[in-house]
Amino acid sequence: MAAPGRLWSKLLCAAWLLTAGGVLRAEVSVVDDAGTTLRLAQPAQRIVSLAPHLTETLFAAGAGEHVVGTVEYSNYPAAAAKIARVGGYSQIDLERVAALRPDLIIAWQSGNAAAHLDRLRALGLPIYISQPDRIDDVATEIERLGVLAGSAAVANRAAASFRERLAGLQHSYGKRPPVRTFYQIWKQPLMTVGGKQIISDVIRLCGGDNVFGKLETMAPTVTVEAVIAANPEAIVASGMGESRPEWLDDWQRWRSITAVARGNLFFVPPDLIQRHTPRLLDGAESLCRHLETARSRRSAR
């Protein structure tokens, strides 16, 4: 017969294993941005992310080690570069996705093709639909992904930190005099953001007023004439990389625009403002500083 001490140790070990197994098998569920309740028999262990910003947010939620597949341009954090690619967010290689045997797919509602997602659902793969349209939705998303990946403790801390920082920006800039702002995504075609796009929420956070905020489309195409008629006080561009796009200075020919006359042509790196991630607040801080510069130039004239 085993000694009492050894028997007690075995019982404790068995109890720990049962408890740990119970945690692993515990069902988790969240409601995604499409309003669908997603239930998993246990937290996901093999996740495929179908957009760069979703990959980044999964890492922020403490779930990076469970991401086995992602798409091109998933470059943050550095560990994301080592993850297998399954195409681009708009051109998904469905066979590669299936070959990774995911137990969860995180998809971007306005970026991934609905037909691709339908085919993945037909394979029986659970899909979480993401579409954060407001800044505070980012914190909620971090929390949901933490639940799905079993990393809620990390995710909840990250979400709380995000909300605290957001509150600070709201306090600093929320009541500043409005600045009529044109946000330019691209030159050819000339694209901006509509009122439902998260960048419009960033503009509002900074006390700005999106001159095309009444448009319903997420990324509408506009004309130079429409921008001239809107007469923004600030023009903000993103472009494709970390450098200020050369075409931002093309506006210099239109001296009748207040933003041009006052030198209010600003740049914010796209990865900081066009991705729905915690770094969105870095982009917000940059934009808020730019709009504050525009305000300061009123008194100089």
DSSP per-residue letters across the chain: ---HHHHHHHHHHHHHHHHHHHHHH--EEEE-TTS-EEEESS--SSEEESSHHHHHHHHHTT-GGGEEEE-TT--SSGGGGGSEE-B-SSSB-HHHHHHT--SEEEEETTTS-HHHHHHHHHTT--EEEE---SHHHHHHHHHHHHHHHT-HHHHHHHHHHHHHHHHHHHHHHTTSPPEEEEEESBTTTTB---TTSHHHHHHHHTTEEETTTT--SSS-B--HHHHHHH--SEEEE--SSSSPPGGGGGGGG-TTSHHHHTT-EEE--HHHHSS-STTHHHHHHHHHHHHHHHHHTTTT-
Q: Is residue 109 part of a domain?
A: yes
Residues 48 and 81 in one domain: yes
Tell me, what CATH number does 220's domain have? 3.40.50.1980
pTM for the predicted model, two decimal places: 0.87
Q: Which of 100, 133, 159 is the last residue of a domain?
A: 159
Of 159, 187, 218, which one is at a domain's C-terminal end?
A: 159
What is the reported pLDDT for 90?
Answer: 86
Asked if the structure places residue 21 within a domain, the reply is no
- Please report the pLDDT score of residue 240 as a whole number: 76
What pLDDT score does 2 carry?
A: 47
Q: Based on the domain organization, do 36 and 72 belong to the same domain? A: yes
Q: Which of 159, 194, 219 is the last residue before a domain boundary?
A: 159
Say which residues have a Cβ less than 8 Å from residue 235's Cβ, sequence separation at least 6. Answer: 181, 182, 184, 227, 248, 251, 257, 259, 260, 264, 265, 266
- Residue 301's pLDDT is 55
39 shares a domain with 153: yes
Question: By residue range, what is the domain housing residue 44?
Answer: 26-159
Give pLDDT, residue 241.
72
194 in Cβ contact with 212 (< 8 Å): yes
**Same domain (yes/no): 73, 190:** no
- The verdict on 131 and 86 lying in the same domain is yes
Q: Tell whether 17 is covered by a domain.
A: no
Number of domains the chain contains: 2
CB 85 within 8 A of CB 69: yes
* 41 and 149 assigned to the same domain: yes
Are 238 and 213 a contacting pair, CB within 8 Å? no
Query: Does 123 lie in the same domain as 53?
Result: yes
34 and 152 in a common domain: yes
Question: Are 98 and 75 found together in one domain?
Answer: yes
- pLDDT tens per residue across all 301 residues of the chain: 445 455 444 434 444 444 444 444 589 999 999 999 999 999 999 999 999 999 999 999 999 999 999 999 999 999 999 999 999 988 999 999 999 999 999 999 999 999 999 999 999 999 999 999 999 999 999 999 999 999 999 999 999 999 999 999 999 998 999 999 999 999 999 999 999 999 999 999 999 999 999 998 989 999 999 999 999 999 999 877 777 888 999 999 999 999 999 999 999 999 999 999 999 999 999 999 999 999 999 975 5
- Does residue 203 fall inside a structural domain? yes
216 and 152, same structural domain? no
Domain assignment of residue 52, yes or no: yes
Give a yes or no: residue 9 inside a domain.
no
pLDDT at res. 89: 87
**167 inside domain:** no
60 shares its domain with 150: yes
**Residue 57 counted as domain residue:** yes
pLDDT of residue 243: 79
| Statement to judge: residues 268 and 151 lie in one domain | no
Tell me which residue of 63, 67, 64, 108 sits closest to 90, measured CA to CA.
108
